[in-house]
Amino acid sequence: MTTSHYIAGRWVEGQGSDCISVNDPALGQPFAELMAASAAQVDQAVAAARGALPVWKATSASERAGYLRGFAEQLGQRREALIGVQMRNNGKPRHEAEIDLDDAIATFNYYAELAEQLPSKNREVPLAAPGFTARTRLEPVGVVGLIVPWNFPLVTSAWKLAPALAAGCTVVLKPSEVTPLVEQAYGQIADALSLPAGVLNIVNGKAETGAALSNHTGLDKLSFTGSNNVGSQVMRSASAQCRPVTLELGGKSAIVVFDDCDVDQAVEWIVAGITWNAGQMCSATSRLLVQDSIADALLPRLQATLEKLRVGNPLTGEVDMGPLTSQAQWLKVASYFATAREEGLQCLAGGKALDRDGWFVSPTLYADVPNDSRLWTEEIFGPVLCARRFATEEQAIAEANDSRFGLVATVCSADLARAERVADALEVGHVWINSVQAVFVETSWGGTKGSGIGRELGPWGLSAYQSVKHVTRCLG
């Protein structure tokens, strides 16, 4: 795969001062490198997107849908290569990398369908006042900057890129410097489809490149997925230009298990919510709230299940959980293990970095964690689960909502009326009932409180890249 930048329909080498080292986290060693884009190249990418905007937004919705279906088809044709890159660069087990690719393909196909349903004509708006007519039209918001994270690079970029292109926007995509390779496929596909030059631009780099993009005056919108610290900087950049922003940020999500739940099934849901992608998910259900009367049966089984998980290199054998994706994340998670020891938390499983090559940690469970513990309140972004007990439904809801985040939650109960009632009371953007975290492109994604602004996926994801224009005419 190329390690260049895709600007105005051409592959170019980076002219920035940073050399990006691309690592295999299972070995803790680099296997590729590329030069970051310079600020001037970011300017070129934005200028290319601005130049391509008039022609692209004038294309028919059906034509844009054809390109989107082309992206989906081309992703499928590159299946093994893309799966391999994610296994090597992200450390994802094969089954997780396969699901990521399938999600990206489904996203492009879904927004192709939505593009075809876009109204080709203006919609008349009835007015109560006589002597006037009004019509409304949906227009692309313009040139958008897309900044995506390292934990789900192929998926998150599809969630942004597909609706933006469907709406008629042109884009500048900035992948994470930790996982820059897999998104180069989008530039390759643009070439294969003869996508008009400048519609899609890809610039790689570290924080300086991201800042050059988010601060650029040539953008009409920013969409960012990542940490709250960086998200606040992106929001400040957007506010300086008074332009719209979509932010998908952190989480400290709860999974609530009631005492009528099947213990083995509950363990399956809990483990999936904290060990998928080695817990490196904004949606990780890292706070376990378990009802008193089932806790003594559930916690030992959960402990045993976590201890049996196969943790290893996904390229050398079948594993349940791979390494953390970067050394920085490995050090961060290890620091929380040290904090847990300082706080005297009860560790039932894990609680340590593994003594082997690569950036591996053990799936971890702490019991009876106080609600003022840093591990209970802060996003760790690793396979670290903290458990607390509750007595009543009201207490469970209160404790689940007692967080500065509000992204997702899971409710486990055989009483479906209660599960639905609790789901309605939780202050989050998405709730699963008796399920693993199945995310469908037709549903929305985003959170409340400190978990972000706006929604992705579904029709809401498309509307995020559309501007509404009304035209009112006097008949007199």
Segment 447-469 mean pLDDT: 97
pLDDT of residue 119: 77
Of the candidates 293, 285, 286, the one whose C-alpha atom is nearest the C-alpha of residue 263 is 293
> In this structure, are residues 31 and 23 in contact, taking their beta carbons and an 8 Å threshold?
yes
For residue range 179-216, list pLDDT tens digits in order: 999 999 999 999 999 999 999 999 999 999 999 999 99
Q: Is the pLDDT of residue 1 over 60?
A: no
Tokens representing 365 are 């469970």
Residue 439: what are its φ and ψ, rounded to 5°? -110, 125
pLDDT, one tens digit per residue, over 368-383 is: 999 999 999 999 999 9
What is residue 264's predicted lDDT score, i.e. its pLDDT? 96
**First-last CA distance in the chain:** 63
Q: How confident is the model at residue 417 (pLDDT cuts 50, 70, 90)?
A: very high
Residue 85 predicted with pLDDT over 60 = yes
Mean pLDDT lowest among 144-148, 238-242, 263-267, 294-298: 238-242
Q: For all residues of the chain together, what is the average pLDDT?
A: 96
Average pLDDT over residues 432-461: 97
Exposure string of 381-418, with b = 16+ CB inside 10 Å and e = fewer, is bbbbbbbbbbeebeebbebbbebebbbbbbbbbeeeee
> Which tokens in the block code for residue 294?
């089932």
In the structure, what pLDDT confidence band is assigned to residue 3 with cuts at 50, 70 and 90? low
Average pLDDT over every residue of 241-262: 96
- Domains assigned to the chain: 5-249+451-474 (3.40.605.10), 254-440 (3.40.309.10)
pTM greater than the 0.85 cutoff: yes
Q: Within 10 Å of residue 146's Cβ, how many Cβ atoms?
A: 27
Over residues 120-137, the pLDDT tens digits come to 767 888 999 999 999 999
Q: Which residues are catalytic?
A: 248, 282
Looking at this protein, which amino acid is placed at residue 151? N
Q: CA dist 331 to 24, 336, 339, 354, Å?
A: 16, 9, 12, 12
Residue 393 structure tokens: 């439904």
Interatomic CA distance for residues 270 and 21, integer angstroms: 35
